[in-house]
């Protein structure tokens, strides 16, 4: 059986949990405490030299790191990745946008606020990060003002990748009310069959 | 004909130029000055709402943004992407690693040092960014100590993606001499057929 190394509050981990649930695919689940170094042990670094969750271990012991690469691996050949070559590239475009222009500015502020001490010096990073977070959400708004989903007209792993931290942007103090198309899209994503919340601990 | 919106000194743009050269695929080339706002005009934002180069315009006018998504689009069905499903996921794993854990800490310091004023306040970011850059290169070293290329045993777009800024890491003041496997790999990549340098302006 597949095994996912993960941390429940991680949006990056949630992406994989959500897709697995929607694929109906069973997976052993092992939580590592990213705050106490459990992803930096020699044993875990042998699975992912970059020392991060989520990391997916296949039945034969080989591992895949990087949440969006794991999504691609699991979704190939399913309706969660379009068949058209241009739309596949668009799916990846939004996923690379997510990791480069969105995650550091939405997920990282949320992490600083939720998981670090109130007097952490990293709070100084918040104004710049949140400004860039708003810019990323504005890019999504421009796309979702004219499209139901990020790629083509269907729900794909690009939506999963960007839903993961956008739907908890309020935990980063980001107000989504100026982005009505994003808010409507969050509702469409949450209404997909077999949707699960980020707080749902796998069995 | 394809048209690439680009900036010559950009490693992200160079990735696409290098793959196009190695595919033998002609492409119109248009340089935009990222320092004077040429990627933030209404005309360009209609091509890429995130306002960044490289952006590839197809023959029919549709566009693809994000360097690594463009690589995937161009390389699908060629030997630059493995056919095996696990190796395809590994290719994407290294490309997401590049954008999340490497580019902000190798490319951005290089940009600050090469393109911003000597008294730019952004120089304060350098110590932390460079420490993370060394950590990213150490992750590459651990892989390349046992493998000739990043994925499987052949040259792929994962190598192109990570070569782009690693081979100019010295311009970010990053010394690669502690990473002999990375240095040897840089030589193997540069020895591939139809390799071009980052300084080569397309015709």
**pLDDT tens for each residue of B171-188:** 999 999 999 999 999 999
Give me the pLDDT at residue B202, please: 86
**pLDDT tens for each residue of B112-126:** 999 999 999 999 999
Nearest C-alpha of chain A: how many angstroms from B97?
Answer: 7
Q: Given CB atoms, is A156 within the 8 Å cutoff of chain B?
A: no
Nearest C-alpha of chain B: how many angstroms from A84?
Answer: 11
Smallest CA–CA distance from A136 into chain B, residue: B50
Average pLDDT over residues B57-75: 98
Domains parsed from chain A with CATH numbers: 3-75 (3.40.30.10), 85-190 (1.20.1050.10)
**pLDDT tens for each residue of A86-108:** 999 999 999 999 999 999 999 99
Give me the pLDDT at residue B184, please: 98
φ, ψ of residue A5 in degrees (nearest 5)? -90, 130
Q: Does the structure show a pLDDT above 80 at A203?
A: no
**pLDDT tens for each residue of B30-59:** 999 999 999 999 999 999 999 999 999 999
Nearest to A75 by CA among A150, A20, A4, A6: A20
**B157 within 8 A of B71, measured Cβ to Cβ:** yes
Task: Please tell me the distance from the alpha carbon of residue A170 to that of residue B191, in angstroms, as a whole number.
Answer: 49
Task: Please tell me the distance from the alpha carbon of residue A191 to that of residue A185, in angstroms, as a whole number.
Answer: 10
Q: B residues 45-64 near A, CB within 8 Å?
A: 49-50, 58, 62, 64
Average pLDDT over residues B95-114: 98
């Amino acid at each position: 059986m597949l095994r996912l190394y993960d941390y429940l509050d991680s949006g990056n981990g949630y992406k994989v949990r959500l897709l697995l649930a929607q694929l109906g695919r069973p997976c052993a689940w092992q939580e590592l405490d990213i705050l106490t170094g459990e992803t930096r042990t020699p044993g875990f670094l042998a699975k992912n030299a970059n020392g991060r969750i989520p990391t997916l271990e296949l039945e034969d012991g080989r591992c895949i790191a990087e949440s969006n690469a794991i999504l691609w691996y699991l979704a190939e050949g399913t309706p969660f990745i379009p068949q058209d070559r241009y739309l596949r590239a668009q799916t990846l475009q939004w996923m690379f946008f997510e990791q480069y222009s969105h995650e550091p500015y939405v997920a990282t502020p949320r992490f600083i606020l939720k998981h670090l001490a109130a007097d952490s010096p990293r709070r100084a990073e918040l104004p710049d990060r949140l400004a860039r977070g708003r810019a990323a959400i504005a890019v999504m708004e421009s796309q979702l003002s004219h499209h139901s989903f990020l790629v083509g007209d269907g729900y794909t792993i690009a939506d999963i990748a960007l839903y993961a931290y956008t739907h908890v942007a309020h935990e980063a103090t980001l107000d989504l009310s100026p982005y009505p198309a994003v808010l409507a899209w969050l509702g469409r994503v949450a209404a997909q069959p077999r949707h699960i919340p980020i707080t749902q601990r796998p069995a």
